[in-house]
Amino acid sequence: MRLCAGHEYKKGSCSFTCWAPKAKRLDLVLPGPKEARLPMEHHGQGVWHAAVEDVVPGLRYAYSLDHGPLRPDPTSHLQPDGVHGPSAVVDHTAFRWNDAAFRPPALAEWVIYELHVGTFSPEGTFAGAIAKLPLLAELGVTVLEVMPVAAFPGARNWGYDGVAPYAVHAAYGGPEGFKCFVDAAHGLGMAVILDVVYNHLGPEGNYLREFGPYFTAEHHTPWGEAVNYDGPNSGPVRDFVVANALHWIRRYHVDGLRLDAVQTIHDESVRHILSELSLAVKDEAERLGRPLRLIAESDRNDPRLVRPLAVGGLGCHGVWSDDLHHALHALTTREKRGYYTDYGRAEHVALALEHGFAYRGEYSRFRRAAHGQPPDGVPCEAHVVALQNHDQVGNRMRGERISHLTNIEAVKTAAACVLLSPFTPLLFMGEEWAAAEPFSYFTSHGDPGLIKAVRAGRRKEFKSFGWKGEPPDPQDEATFAACTLDWQAREKAPHAGVLACYRALLALRREEPFATRTRVSVSARALLSGGKEQGAVVMNRTGGGREAVCLFLFAPKTSLDFSALLPAGNFSLVLDTGDDAFGGPGRAFAAPPARRARIPGPRALVLVRETHLEGL
């Protein structure tokens, strides 16, 4: 039995199903001036059921366990009055989809754009976000990654404190709004993946433990007790999570899920919950006749996540590969605290560009242990890499973007590393124009004790990085408002130049034959002079009868021996991030120098030659 929807509405009638093994009696309550309490039938194994006629969409309902207080449905689809209020009936048959002909792009064609609905547009809604989607399609984005939309307390939150995993946050536009968003994205040729949190629930409005053993004291996460995937009565909890994934795919037409922090999903079962989830999604993809993708966020450099189930892997299609971000950040900003302790040399950038993981079993000073495994056999497109994402920006004390921490030319150079790599790139909203707005941590909790604990927790979290001062108050609405993107800025200097550079880099990635997704076509190394690093990396790419030499220069001046860097042949310069068309100081040269030259940086240079005529 796969426990699924809390309710199913069909033509005026509605059936309600709830797993509540802790209850001796369960009442379906229809609040209102004339409150109705309907005893539910127990069908065994803690499953309760009721059917009601003459129901209209939007009808409020709740559950009462053993005559206790009213509680929202654990599988509620909408919480119109907040996470503490009653749930609402949703008619999923009413929406008229227009995406029957849409097919998601192949994974090798993915360019992911991560967005937070509440701060992506001034409106902070799905409708506001829809208005901006044509700009992303024009940029070259092929996949939208939406940060969690599951209902959370208050109106402002990143979404990782969600407590109603099946409900679309009402303030964003609810179920109808999210369906409109997905339908609009598909109409523009972009796929949608949803960020889901299967490692914990938020602390406020979390009533699931009153219904059943959803959590366990045997494992812990950084956010408290872990979800019960392997303890007594864990079967229905596993069903709850797998059915949640199918809920988003079937009812909202999402093309995949980004699984938050899978290293904190604790499961010692014979079949790991990620394997079960992967198998269910695979079966659903076959049933629908379209690909569905699971992207695992993990900081472990663990290739097992993306190896097929048949060879003992967990069957996901993509894995977070943070090493390139960490290496680029440490090299460009010179930050060396926290997990950046392990990075800071050009060699780390080169290793990440060539292998996906820079650490493949080497000792990590930050972790005080060997870190990672070689990603042998893992396709390039399975590595998701980024220069910025919500974690790396938002978990800074003041939510600074990299453009706040180093100069724009260094930012464009680092962006070129990510976008010209053979891996799947992710952009964080506003990155493409070096948005001036921070992305700070914000909440709108109602519990004074929790508010105090969150403030104290943020201060403690920042100690390992040595950041001084007071972080913005997460509970202050001004903290949230300061993060809303200013879309008009993208047309002004210096933002317009950065945007033009991102467009050109994405066009190269999309159109150049050398930009393949195969490991054999890529090699990278740090440039040395007298045995010392020059703060520069060279990456060679080949494919489709074209060969490229990509130079990433992070130092103010770099001495380059072009006779050694460029194989014999007629190379032409196809991109220079320092071009004045990108708001830079101007191209370093019109044609590649014949011998050693000092090149001003930071900048990225892409030199290309034809190879298909050689030997004729």
pLDDT of the residue at 519 = 85
- CA–CA separation, 594 and 240 (whole Å): 64
pLDDT of the residue at 104 = 97
Closest C-alpha among 373, 325, 358, 18 to residue 166: 18
Do 122 and 172 fall within a single domain?
A: yes
Q: What is the DSSP letter of 593?
A: -
Do 141 and 258 fall within a single domain?
A: yes
Segments of the chain scoring below 70 in pLDDT: 1-5, 464, 612-616
pLDDT of the residue at 507 = 98
Can you spell out the DSSP letters for 308-363?
Answer: -GGGT----SEEE-THHHHHHHHHHH---SGGGGG--SHHHHHHHHHHS-S-SSEE
Q: Which distant-in-sequence residues (6+ apart) come within 8 Å of 456 by Cβ?
A: none
Do 140 and 273 fall within a single domain?
A: yes
Asked if residue 348 lies in contact with residue 341, where contact means CB atoms within 8 angstroms, the answer is no
Query: Is the N-terminal amide bond of 422 cis, ω within 30° of 0?
Result: no
Q: 265 forms bridges with which residues in the sheet?
A: none
The residues annotated with a catalytic role in the active site are 260, 297
Asked if residue 110 lies in contact with residue 143, where contact means CB atoms within 8 angstroms, the answer is yes
Last-in-domain residue among 507, 527, 542: 507
Q: Is residue 225 part of a domain?
A: yes
Last-in-domain residue among 56, 88, 120: 88
Do 448 and 532 fall within a single domain?
A: no
Asked if residue 116 lies in contact with residue 479, where contact means CB atoms within 8 angstroms, the answer is no
Q: Is residue 45 part of a domain?
A: yes
User: SS in 3 state form for 545-590?
Assistant: CEEEEEEEECCCEEEECHHHHCCCCCCEEEEECCCHHHCCCCCCCC
Structural domain of 29 = 7-88
Do 577 and 550 fall within a single domain?
A: yes
Q: Is residue 282 part of a domain?
A: yes
Paired sense of beta strands 36-39 and 41-42, if any: unpaired
- Give the other-Cβ count within 10 Å of 393's Cβ: 22
Q: Is residue 351 part of a domain?
A: no
CATH for 208: 3.20.20.80
pLDDT of the residue at 464 = 65
- Give the other-Cβ count within 10 Å of 525's Cβ: 16
Do 188 and 249 fall within a single domain?
A: yes
Asked if residue 132 lies in contact with residue 139, where contact means CB atoms within 8 angstroms, the answer is no
Do 169 and 282 fall within a single domain?
A: yes
Do 270 and 137 fall within a single domain?
A: yes
Domains identified in the chain, total number = 3
Asked if residue 376 lies in contact with residue 311, where contact means CB atoms within 8 angstroms, the answer is no
Asked if residue 182 lies in contact with residue 22, where contact means CB atoms within 8 angstroms, the answer is no
CATH for 547: 2.60.40.1180
Cα 545 → chain centroid: 34
Do 76 and 16 fall within a single domain?
A: yes
Last-in-domain residue among 507, 528, 544: 507
Do 529 and 559 fall within a single domain?
A: yes
Per-residue CA distances from 411 to 352, 407, 588, 604 (Å): 18, 6, 17, 10
pLDDT of the residue at 224 = 83
Q: 325 forms bridges with which residues in the sheet?
A: none
pLDDT of the residue at 4 = 53
Per-residue CA distances from 590 to 7, 122, 340, 538, 579 (Å): 66, 43, 37, 19, 11
Do 16 and 161 fall within a single domain?
A: no
- CA–CA separation, 536 and 413 (whole Å): 10
Q: Is residue 502 part of a domain?
A: yes
Q: Is residue 2 part of a domain?
A: no
pLDDT of the residue at 612 = 64
Can you spell out the DSSP letters for 207-273?
Answer: -HHHHS--EEEEEEETTEEEE-SSSTT-HHHHHHHHHHHHHHHHHH---EEEETTGGG----SSS-H
Q: Is residue 15 part of a domain?
A: yes
Do 118 and 238 fall within a single domain?
A: yes
Supply 480's token pair: 């949230």
Q: At which residue do the structure tokens 């707005």 appear?
A: 437
Q: Is residue 44 part of a domain?
A: yes
